Amino acid sequence: MSETNSAAASEVAAPHRYTAALAAEIEARWQDFWDAEGTYEAPNPSGDMAARDEAQAALVAKPKKFIMDMFPYPSGAGLHVGHPLGYIATDVFARFQRMTGHNVLHTLGFDAFGLPAEQYAVQTGTHPRVSTEANIENMKAQLRSLGLGHDKRRSFATIDPDYYKWTQWIFVQIFNSWYDADARKARPIADLVAQFDSGERAVPGSTRAWSELNASERAEVLSQYRLAYASDAPVNWCPGLGTVLANEEVTADGRSERGNFPVFKAKLRQWNMRITAYADRLLDDLDALDWPDAIKLQQRNWIGRSEGARVNFPVGTEGDAITVFTTRQDTLFGSTYMVLAPEHELVDKVIPAAWPEGTHEVWTGGHATPAEAVAKYRAFAASKSDVERQADAKEKTGVFTGVYATNPVSGEQVPVFIADYVLMGYGTGAIMAVPAHDSRDFAFARAFHLPMRCVVEPSDGRGTDTATWDDAFVSYEAKLINSANAEFSLDGLDVVDAKARITGWLATRGIGEGTVNFRLRDWLFSRQRYWGEPFPIVYDEDGVAHSLPESMLPLELPEVDDYSPRTFDPDDADTSPETPLSRNEDWVNVTLDLGDGPKKYRRETNTMPNWAGSCWYELRYLDPRNDQQLVDPAVEQYWMGPRAGQPTGGVDLYVGGAEHAVLHLLYARFWSKILFDLGHISSAEPFHKLYNQGMIQAYVYRDSRGFPVPATEVEERDGKFFFEGEPVKRELGKMGKSLKNAVTPDEICDEYGADTLRLYEMAMGPLDVSRPWDTRAVVGQYRLLQRLWRLIVDESTGEVTVADVAEADIDEATLRALHKAIDGVRQDLDGMRFNTAIAKITELNNHLTKAGGAVPRSVAERLVLLIAPLAPHVAEELWRKLGHAESVVHQDFPVADPAYVVDESVTCVVQIKGKVKARLEVPPSISDAELEKVALADEKVVAALDGAGIRKVIVRAPKLVNIVPA
């Protein structure tokens, strides 16, 4: 009889068995019920989502838990079983929190602006909104069938004008504020204007008073302060694609990843966010967060704080100086040449017309004049990416500029080079080279026959003659030598003291100062795209930028005929981007009254980057329908405000992939801090606890040409794999359509039901570890649910079979199994160890199955409550069958009786030379010393030792004693 026949036959015999068909019926019914009842609604303390009945009023009085997933981008391909791993986990956790006395906010929105929809629009002419909304609907249906307990009233997409109105509003707040470094916080730009106006603060770079400046001069000054500002930023311009690219989108040989077109470094007017102003606070506040160490470390490295000094080296005859940033100012006496980034502005100012007398041949690169050498070298460097320029192994290149600068402590003349290993975007774009103690400088100095001076005494016996060295001597422990001038000496000091000493000396002479440098750069915020939030910015006839008042928001995207940016001759660097929005002249040119009468303006035609919408969505979940405010402060305070153990406030649990370590999480933190500073929110951090789930991997099968073949059609024979008779290779990789190994949640739900899928995903292994999907193993969890069902329901009549037994009459073994399970599952769910929680439930289930007979009602009920967070549909069904009128969702999670949790005794094995000689029953809490005594006194052990002395006893209380005789 085939598998299906037997299943069908048993269904006839047992019409009330838990089957996929029954699961489907139960699941659909309860999902509809929960939706209709608003079971997962989390009431707010006030406003339109305040408690609507007594039950909700009781909820809002409880402690809150705000549990969040990184929200999905609704792709056209739909979900595979890997996607919902985190959503199921947060749902189980949220359900457990609901059952342990919390008002739980859990919902899910959609991150829906971005490139894929736009590219699809370019190819097909379908409006991105149409395709995106269809994808969202599809994804919502897929997610709904998993029984996720979301408060659906709170869901939205970043493309909803009601939502992006507030994204634009936040931009306006950022634009209209500046960072007051003394107060260490953002303040309204009006405060700064008042300071200029009153003369309290001088106008930077000008001797004129504020009142003497015209509107565009003022605008120019203010944009040096605004937290959102437009500036001419060096960007990766790709005429072939018609757009500016992020560094990550440019290949090592300076071409576009997509399309393989040349990319040019160009200066273009772009919007930026002054995230660098917050570098210190972004770093400091990490300490208050409950995040994985690895992610904190990535953020620290990304921010890249370096303590060092700025030092001026006089150059030329006009009082100019090259300012370097160094972290090793103690080695200043060893600086024998300098390097500027090729793009450094000072180069053009100081280069002489001809090479100075005695210039080394290799320094000139074979060029007739410094100007020619510099121009040629710049063209060469411009074709390289920053990553490539910094590669350590790379051969060092550069040219002499024809100029010498003065080492301010030794007074020596040091040649100034340009070289691509120095980047314009870091520090000051100039370095003092110390070839004896920096490996890159060493390599460069060797290639260009430059002198070296040893100023840190080698501790590895190599001596101080640099001519005999193979590499720089790098150490922070050693002592300084050869470092004295007429006024002071560093000789004999260690690195730390030498740094302090020389920094002080430089400062008193006005030659330098201690400084902190950050790797973090301002955030390039404009994109030449259609499918993003329009900027709430217009330019007046003088080109001055104005933000739109709230009454003009949202500024909606206009209709356009063509979604693609204009492209140009790929090799023509002298072009600049033309955005899709700029084509709609009616939208771009407007007459507006911004408070001083109707005037003509031009709209900004860039759009915001994809990150903008996810920078603050946690706040909108709190109060999604508020059309007066971004979020009601009382509501924000309730869900996100600081409290014990969470000094900076934030979401209680945020779950998502580790790939968002820096960009999204850093940007969201940055926006929170601005909103906090400006008094709009009480939480200075968006996400208090962060958890990274692992990935669901899948086997990919490749044929002899390396192409993936459909995984479901692969046969296994003797550990080898075949597709259509041909051998194929198996590897573990990602799951996805292109790899032909995607399994959809819909398939698994059809075959077993959503509860089985949920259990399987949670049982696969610890949540933070990646694990391979195995469809054949899913049935194991299906069987667990079938056994659970059979314990409570008669499969042929559908009647509940439990026995009404008084607690005192339940057998002790069952009570122990029950309370141990309750205790363990409680701890596991609280610690997000869902796999071990399932193992404990399975154990209890097996105990009850084996015990036979009718299960006591109170035991059955607690078993149902234990599994409710994991398998909510079957739990709800059984709970109702057991005679309850109220939903299982808001029941109290069972509490263990400690008396039944501790084992009375455990079996301890006593070994001699590794062989078991005795078994002892001992209390589980026995100490190592006590256990050793008991073991050595045991009759069998004494007999086995037969008077032999003892060399060693290894005790692992309470389970093992190992005796090594002499």
Rounded to the nearest whole angstrom, what is the least distance from the CB of residue 335 to ligand ANZ in the complex? 7
- Gap between the Cα atoms of 169 and 549, Å rounded: 8
Our finding on whether 429 is near ligand ANZ (CB under 6 A) is yes
- The answer to whether the CB of 938 falls within 8 A of the CB of 920 is yes
CB of 617 to ligand ANZ, least distance (A): 34
Q: What are phi and psi of 871, to 5 degrees?
A: -125, 75
By CB under 6 A, which span of 72-80, 152-160, 375-383, 427-435 interacts with ligand ANZ? 427-435
237 and 576 Cβ atoms separated by less than 8 Å = yes
Q: Which is nearer to ligand ANZ, 421 or 639 (CB)?
A: 421
Q: Which is nearer to ligand ANZ, 321 or 909 (CB)?
A: 321
Select from 110, 278, 333, 426 the one that contacts ligand ANZ (CB under 6 A).
426
Q: What's the one-letter identity of residue 495?
A: V
Rounded CA separation 454/491 (Å): 12
User: Minimal distance in Å, beta carbon 659 to ligand ANZ?
Assistant: 24
Least distance to ligand ANZ, CB of residue 865, Å: 55
Q: Residue 227: name the closest of 275, 296, 291, 282 by CA.
A: 275
Candidate ranges 110-118, 198-206, 421-429, 762-770; the one touching ligand ANZ (CB under 6 A)? 421-429
Please provide the distance, in angstroms rounded to a whole number, between the alpha carbons at the two ends of the chain: 65
Under the binding rule (CB under 6 A), the answer on residue 437 touching ligand ANZ is yes
Chain positions 898 to 917 lying near ligand ANZ, rule: CB under 6 A, are: none
Q: Considering the complex, what minimum distance in angstroms separates the CB of residue 423 from ligand ANZ?
A: 4
Within 10 angstroms of residue 237's Cβ, the number of other Cβ atoms is 23
559: helix, strand or coil:
coil
* Residue span 373-412 as binding mask against ligand ANZ, x where in contact by CB under 6 A, dash where not: ----------------------------------------
| Contact positions with ligand ANZ (CB under 6 A) in 309-338 | 325-328, 331
Provide, rounded to whole angstroms, the least separation between the CB of residue 232 and ligand ANZ. Answer: 20
Give me the least distance between CB of 420 and ligand ANZ, in Å please.
Answer: 10
Nearer to ligand ANZ by Cβ, of 27 and 438: the residue is 438
Of 495 and 935, the one with the shorter C-beta distance to ligand ANZ is: 495
Residue 676 has, within 13 A of its CA and on its CB side, a CA count of: 23
> Is 737 part of any known ligand binding site?
yes
d(CA 87, CA 75): 16
CA–CA distance, 519 with 276 (Å, rounded to integer): 9
Among the listed residues 641, 588, 489, the one whose alpha carbon sits nearest the alpha carbon of residue 64: 641
Closer to ligand ANZ by Cβ: residue 437 or 873: 437
Q: How far apart are CA 452 and CA 734, in angstroms?
A: 51
Q: Helices in 632-753 by DSSP H: which ranges?
A: 633-640, 663-677, 745-752
Stretch that binds ligand ANZ, among 114-122, 429-437, 673-681, 789-797 (CB under 6 A): 429-437
Residue 141 or 474: which CB sits closer to ligand ANZ? 474
Residues 6+ apart with CB under 8 A from 293: none
In angstroms, rounded to a whole number, what is the distance separating the alpha carbons of residues 282 and 667?
10
Q: State the Cα–Cα distance between residues 815 and 808, nearest whole angstrom.
A: 10
Asked whether position 434 contacts ligand ANZ by CB under 6 A, the answer is yes
Q: Is the CB of 475 or the CB of 584 nearer to ligand ANZ?
A: 475
The pair of structure tokens assigned to 817 is 């199994």
Assess contact for 511 and 311: CB atoms under 8 A.
Answer: yes
Whole-Å CA distances, 78 to 125, 139, 592, 700, 747? 21, 6, 43, 19, 13
**Interaction of residue 427 with ligand ANZ, rule CB under 6 A:** yes
Q: Considering the complex, state which of residue 304 and residue 965 has its C-beta at the smaller distance from ligand ANZ.
A: 304
Give the shortest CB-438-to-ligand ANZ separation in angstroms.
4
List the structure tokens of 909. 């094995």
Nearer to ligand ANZ, 331 or 648 (CB): 331
Judged by CB, which is closer to ligand ANZ: 325, or 601? 325
- What does the DSSP assignment read for 696-764? EEEEEEE-TTS-EE-GGG-EEETTEEEETTEEEEEEEE---GGGT----HHHHHHHH-HHHHHHHHHHS
CA distance 474 to 437: 5
* Nearest CB to ligand ANZ, comparing residues 193 and 500: 500
Give the contact letters, 709-738, x = binds to ligand ANZ (CB under 6 A), - = no: ------------------------------
Smallest separation (angstroms) from ligand ANZ to the CB of 426: 4
The percent of the chain in helix, strand and coil, each rounded to the nearest 5, is 40, 20, 40
Tell me which residues in 467-526 interact with ligand ANZ (CB under 6 A).
517
* Between 443 and 821, CB nearer to ligand ANZ: 443
Q: Compute the least distance from the CB of residue 266 to ligand ANZ, in Å.
A: 20
The neighbouring-strand residues paired with 793 are 800
- The distance of closest approach from Cβ of residue 403 to ligand ANZ in the complex, given in angstroms and rounded to an integer, is 18
SS3 573: coil
**In this complex, which beta carbon is closest to ligand ANZ, that of residue 425 or of residue 766?**
425
Number of residues that bind ligand ANZ (CB under 6 A): 17
- Do residues 753 and 20 touch, judged by C-beta distance below 8 A? yes
Q: How far is CA 929 from CA 334, 718, 937, in A?
A: 63, 52, 13
**Residue 418 is a binding residue for ligand ANZ (CB under 6 A):** no
Least distance to ligand ANZ, CB of residue 395, Å: 16
Site string for ligand ANZ, 608-647 (x = CB under 6 A): ----------------------------------------
Q: Which letter does DSSP use for residue 547 in this model?
A: E
The residue with tokens 């609604």 is: 41
Question: Using omega within 30 degrees of 0 as the cis cutoff, is the peptide bond preceding 554 cis?
Answer: yes
142 or 466: whose CB is closer to ligand ANZ?
A: 466
Q: Which residue has the tokens 């359900």?
A: 95
Which residues make Cβ contacts (< 8 Å) with residue 646, sequence separation at least 6? Answer: 288, 652, 688
Reduce the DSSP state of residue 20 to 3 states and report it: helix
Choices 121-129, 419-427, 828-836, 851-859; region in contact with ligand ANZ by CB under 6 A: 419-427
Judged by CB under 6 A, which of 105, 121, 416, 432 binds ligand ANZ? 432
* Strands of 344-398, DSSP E: none
Among 148, 170, 431, 655, binds ligand ANZ (CB under 6 A): 431
Task: Using the rule CB under 6 A, give the single segment among 425-433, 634-642, 756-764, 910-918 that binds ligand ANZ.
Answer: 425-433
Pairwise CA distance, residues 106 & 65, whole Å: 9
Among the listed residues 321, 423, 779, 805, the single contact to ligand ANZ using CB under 6 A: 423
**Which residue of 46, 155, 251, 306 would you call a contact of ligand ANZ, by CB under 6 A?**
306
Least distance (Å) between residue 154 CB and ligand ANZ: 44
Distance CA 820, CA 310 (A): 64
Residue 28 touching ligand ANZ (CB under 6 A): no
Q: Is 851 in the site for ligand ANZ (CB under 6 A)?
A: no
d(CA 442, CA 437): 7
In the complex, the smallest distance separating the C-beta of residue 432 from ligand ANZ, rounded to whole angstroms, is: 5
Smallest separation (angstroms) from ligand ANZ to the CB of 237: 22
Provide the mask over 581-610, with x wherever binding to ligand ANZ is found by CB under 6 A and - wherever it is not: ------------------------------
Whole-angstrom Cα distance, residue 809 to residue 203? 87
Residue 499 vs 620, nearer CB to ligand ANZ: 499
Nearest-angstrom CA–CA distance, 619 and 598: 35
Cβ pair 89, 73 in contact under 8 A? no
Residues within the annotated binding site for ATP?
Answer: 737
Using CB under 6 A as the criterion, which residues of the chain lie in contact with ligand ANZ when the complex forms? 306, 325-328, 331, 422-423, 426-427, 429, 431-432, 434, 437-438, 517
Residues within the annotated binding site?
Answer: 737
